[in-house]
Amino acid sequence: MGAVKLFWIIGIIIVTTISGWIAGVRMRRTVRRTLHKEVADAELTSLSLWMKVEDAEERNRGGKLS
């Protein structure tokens, strides 16, 4: 029973790590495509950066995002 629990925990850690990495790649790609600049990991948590991204996406689409 202990080995099954250990494999379960290791599996959850692996899935979470891969999911987090994919989310980070997608966020960096969104910022790079919208603002045309590279960003550091610390900038991805900045609210002001994401507000700039939203404003730029609104301008590019010609209207308000829903």
For the beta carbon of residue 31, count every other beta carbon within 10 angstroms: 20
Per-residue pLDDT of 37-66, as tens digits, reads 888 878 888 888 888 888 888 888 876 655
**pLDDT at residue 42, as a whole number:** 80
Q: Which residues contact 63 (CB under 8 A, 6 or more apart)?
A: none
Asked if 57 contacts 63 with a C-beta cutoff of 8 angstroms, the reply is no
Question: Whose CA is closest to 56, among 40, 33, 27, 38?
Answer: 33
**pLDDT at residue 22, as a whole number:** 96
